[in-house]
Amino acid sequence: MQTGVQQPEAGAAVNWFKYSSPQSFFPLAEKLAFWFGALALVACAAGLYIGFFRAPTDAQQGEAYRIIFIHVPAA
């Protein structure tokens, strides 16, 4: 009897447990490290741009409040 739920074919699913061993994880991490680092640099640059140039000036503190965009993430 068909229930309408399709089972994945053999070999189609990814076994994520295999990456729990260093022999399997480190080759994958070496391949992805550059791309994650590049993505982090782009995200940091975008965050700094938004924080320094696009965020409005605070009504009480003026421009001095922008130090939180550096100080808080670094803390």
Q: Which domain holds residue 70?
A: 16-74
Residue 39 lies in a domain: yes
Round to whole Å and give the CA distance between 56 and 62.
9
Residue 4 lies in a domain: no
Please report where in the chains the tokens 């975008």 appear, as a residue: 46
pLDDT in tens, 34-67: 999 999 999 999 998 998 899 898 899 988 888 8
Residue 10 lies in a domain: no
pLDDT of residue 1 exceeding 70? no
Residue 1 lies in a domain: no
H or E segment to which residue 1 belongs: none
Domains: count for the chain: 1
Residue 51 lies in a domain: yes
Q: What is the pTM of this model?
A: 0.64
